[in-house]
Amino acid sequence: MNTTYEKETICIQSGWKPKNGEPRVLPICQSTTFKYETSEQMGRLFDLEESGYFYTRLQNPTNDFVAQKICELEGGAAAMLTSSGQAANYYAVFNICEAGDHVVLSSTVYGGTFNLLTCTMKKMGISCTVVDPDWDYEKLSEAFRPNTKCVLAETIANPALVILDIEKFAKVAHDHQVPLIVDNTFPTPINCNPFKWGADIVTHSTTKYMDGHAMCVGGAIVDSGNFDWAAYPDKFPGLCYPDESYHGVVYTEKFGKAAYITKATSQLMRDLGSIQSPQNAFLLNVGLETLHLRMPRHCENAQRVAEYLEQNDKVAWVNYPGLKSCKYYDLAQKYMPKGTCGVISFGLKGGRKAAEEMMDKLKLAAIVTHVADARTCVLHPASHTHRQMNDEQLKEAGVAPDLIRLSVGIENVEDIIRDLEQAL
Ligand SMILES: *Cc1c(COP(=O)(O)O)cnc(C)c1O
């Protein structure tokens, strides 16, 4: 595999590389199953003795070509697609945690991820300690326990837009012998490569910028291949000791840097089945082909809109990591010098009521649950995505009751500003 191409080229050319006479465009392998000449061959696949496709609940070639592209964009060792971002974060954690284990979770993660860890996985016997990503190393260290198996955080938190100090988090995780998992949905690999700063595993909701057109719910997990599981076999028995459900295979011994993703595919995907449909993977791939063009435009437009909002006297506060006034400006410059994302949060002097009125008056920007696609859209997290949280949890998540999340699209920026102006 080449690693010499730049990201713009990877977006277009990586993944599916047709051989002589094959289709130029990634084919959709719309097939549940795959044919073999002998029963012996098929048996070897089931023993993981040979690699090959047999059933789309586990793996499908269309998905794998798209996962390969995302893997290269992140600079990883192995990757897989999942049916949603939720499934990606769930598998990423569950692949190395079981009942009795513990996770250190950043308080500012997406509401769905917060729920997944603090409610649903708690019912599975996996507990977590919620930490403020701005805490210093010593304070963060106090959250770790002997049964802690990973740290989970977001590079840019949705919707609080907290920029993660990735190096600090990687260090504290590694000093406690566990990997750092980061959800890199908002900056995308175009603006941030967490592996460069010490993160071990990256997850994505491909539903957002990667697809970019609000067409398909999807997710991805990328492993850097850098975390040395075998150094702590008792901490990660699922990777380092024989898997009885696969005739005693030891993933770290047999698959090396691909151990983590192979286990997630052959065990979790087999048993839980959150595969992305090949049709959706095809559409995701079309989105990825322009990701490198869209991300800079999202950032440019958001910067202009944030500056406009900051000088508008109806606006109480604006949070955008590209603004010098933002608490996270310096961290954004360090980890995402080319820009962060297209999402801005702000509040109005009239508070929650004014926010709702303003949103109803918008003509171009639509009220949708979605975020991070080509069309400008708005959401009021306290009444929508985060409504399951109480006031204390909202505060910890960095979501003020009056917070409006504005996802700036790639339309003409003057039109977006005019729309905001008439609504304000
Ligand atoms: C949307 C989102 C998710 C969940 O992804 P789905 O594709 O909606 O399941 C996870 N993390 C972040 C940061 C998100 O924005």
The tens digit of pLDDT for each residue in 232-271 reads: 999 999 999 999 888 899 999 999 999 999 999 999 999 9
Quick one: 244 and 325 in the same domain?
no
- Asked if pLDDT for residue 223 goes beyond 80, the answer is yes
**Single residue among 246, 268, 286 that ends a domain in this structure:** 286
**Single residue among 286, 310, 332 that ends a domain in this structure:** 286
Distance of alpha carbon 256 from the chain centroid? 24
Q: How many domains does the chain have?
A: 2
Q: What is the pLDDT of residue 16?
A: 98
Quick one: 346 and 403 in the same domain?
yes
CB of 262 within 6 A of ligand 1: the answer is: no
Q: Give the residue, out of 81, 89, 110, with the most ligand 1 atoms within 8 A of its beta carbon, to mutate for a pocket test.
A: 110
Q: What angle do CA 196, 197, 200 make, to 5 degrees?
A: 80
Q: What is the DSSP string of 26-51?
A: PP----SB---S-HHHHHHHHTTSS-
Quick one: 239 and 351 in the same domain?
no
Q: How far apart (Å, rounded) are the C-alpha atoms in residues 258 and 212? A: 28
**Single residue among 286, 302, 331 that ends a domain in this structure:** 286
- Are 181 and 152 in contact by the 8 Å Cβ rule? The answer is yes
For 335-393, how does the pLDDT look when each residue is reduced to its tens digit (9 = 90+)? Answer: 999 999 999 999 999 988 899 899 999 999 999 988 999 999 999 888 887 787 777 88
Q: What is the pLDDT of residue 383?
A: 80
Task: Name which of 9-13, 47-51, 61-65, 293-297 the model is least confident about.
Answer: 47-51
- The verdict on residue 35 lying in a domain is yes
Taking each helix axis as running N to C, give the angle between helix 413-423 and helix 291-310, from 0 to 180 degrees, rounded to the nearest 10. Answer: 40
For 110-168, how does the pLDDT look when each residue is reduced to its tens digit (9 = 90+)? Answer: 989 999 999 999 999 999 999 999 999 999 999 999 999 999 999 999 989 999 999 99
- The verdict on residue 217 lying in a domain is yes
- The verdict on residue 2 lying in a domain is no
- The verdict on residue 211 lying in a domain is yes
* Containing structural domain, residue 371: 294-423
For 16-69, how does the pLDDT look when each residue is reduced to its tens digit (9 = 90+)? Answer: 999 999 999 999 999 999 999 999 988 888 877 888 898 999 999 999 999 999
219: nearest Cα among 107, 110, 302, 96: 110
CB of 113 within 6 A of ligand 1: the answer is: yes
- Asked if pLDDT for residue 318 goes beyond 80, the answer is yes
Report the percent of the chain where pLDDT is more than 90: 86
Q: Which residue has the tokens 């508008």?
A: 312
- Are 111 and 388 in contact by the 8 Å Cβ rule? The answer is yes
Q: Give the residue, out of 105, 114, 115, 158, with the most ligand 1 atoms within 8 A of its beta carbon, to mutate for a pocket test.
A: 158
Q: What CATH code is carried by the domain that includes residue 87?
A: 3.40.640.10
